[in-house]
Amino acid sequence: MTYRFKLQEPVGAGVRRIALEQIEIADEKLASQRDIATCIHDARRCLKRLKALMRLVRPALDDDVYRREAARLSGVGRLLSSERDQHVIRQTVTKLENRFGALPNGASQRLKELLQVQAASLLGSEMAESRRQALSRLKQTRRFFSGAGIAGVRFDHLADGLERSYRKARRAFRTAYDEPADEAFHAWRKSVQLHWRHMQLLSRGWPEMLTARAGEAKELSRLLGDDHDFAVLLTYVTNHAGEDFSPDDQAVLSSLCRSCQAELRASAKPRGKRLLAESATSLRDKIELYWEAACRLSALAAAKEQEEKPEPKADLKRVRRGSR
């Protein structure tokens, strides 16, 4: 799998190649009967890569086409989200226990019992139906990327898509710290994830430079992902308040989760300042220059390699016959 555009490949062909590779992997994972939880996690990663690709090529598409295809991918993600949320809550409870010790009043045990009951249904007919529907929708996505609609995608479309998404990430960063809320940090996280994958897609423009940006965006995405996991746990506890969790349980869990979130957000802020320091227009212009230079260097290297190839040796027998 190569989740990157190639320098000497038409952009439209690259979009098709990358998308179909991700769909193929997702299909394989969703059809598998082994380690279903891991397979669903891997399929969701493919969906995120597809969404990032769609955002990058958005300027090349009619608005109604983009909305239709983006909505389809989001729908597939929702079909597979329940199991993911269960996994996140289990992991987050373990993180809290590792850091603070056993949760008070047996809260962690009650959480695990609730999750176990819900997991039993998710791994049965309900989850099987969700996977079947996801596979069906991915067939439609495959049809779109296999069609003629993306043949005209050019690099300037990708540059427009990058600029648009990066500008949104900068706005989301400011909003998250000006008006702190779980939803705002989650929105920023999604924008950072897009930028991470956009840097992966375009990394051949200047591998050393853009791989470093991708790595920084990935780490920032990880921090914000952990922040969101604590928000997911708190939402789950709130939704099961009353019989399962008392007000005291909620207060203690909220205090622990908010403490962890404060640390994560403090760490994410300087990373965000560094990653998003450049204006959207400036970054777009640089990426276009990087890509143009990389394509030229690649063409020169290919021409030089062709020149240095040894001449094929003549067939001496044929030469002798021809001279008679």
Average pLDDT over residues 182-211: 98
The predicted pLDDT at position 248 comes to 86
Structure tokens at 15: 């979009």
Rounded Cα distance between 52 and 55, Å, is 5
What is the percent of the chain where pLDDT is above 70? Answer: 93
Residues ≥6 apart with Cβ < 8 Å to 288:
155, 156, 159
Is the pLDDT at 318 greater than 60, yes or no?
no
Which CATH number does the domain 11-301 belong to among 3.90.190.20, 3.40.50.2300, 3.30.360.10, 1.40.20.10? 1.40.20.10
Nearest to residue 152, comparing CAs of 11, 5, 315, 316? 11
Cα separations in angstroms, 46 against 15, 116, 279: 14, 27, 29
Query: By three-state DSSP, how is residue 276 classified?
Result: coil
Query: By three-state DSSP, how is residue 245 classified?
Result: strand
Residues ≥6 apart with Cβ < 8 Å to 58:
66, 161, 164
Residue 86 CA, chain-centre distance (Å), reads 20
Task: Summarize pLDDT for 131-183 with one digit per residue, the tens.
Answer: 899 999 999 999 999 999 899 999 999 999 999 999 999 999 999 999 999 99
Average pLDDT over residues 33-55: 92
Angle between helices 107-122 and 81-100 (to 10 degrees): 160
Q: Kindly write down the DSSP assignment for every residue of 146-198, as one continuous string.
A: HSGGGTT--HHHHHHHHHHHHHHHHHHHHHHHHS--HHHHHHHHHHHHHHHHH
Read off the pLDDT band of 127 (50, 70, 90): confident
Task: Summarize pLDDT for 66-97 with one digit per residue, the tens.
Answer: 999 999 999 999 998 877 788 888 899 999 99
Is the pLDDT at 321 greater than 60, yes or no?
no
Residue with tokens 């929708």: 137
Nearest to residue 278, comparing CAs of 226, 203, 218, 210? 210
Other beta carbons within 10 angstroms of residue 15's beta carbon come to 25
Average pLDDT over residues 110-125: 72
Q: Evaluate whether 122 touches 83 at the Cβ level (below 8 Å).
A: yes
Query: By three-state DSSP, how is residue 35 classified?
Result: coil
Task: Summarize pLDDT for 277-315 with one digit per residue, the tens.
Answer: 999 999 999 999 999 999 999 999 988 888 877 766 655
Q: Where are the domains of the chain?
A: 11-301
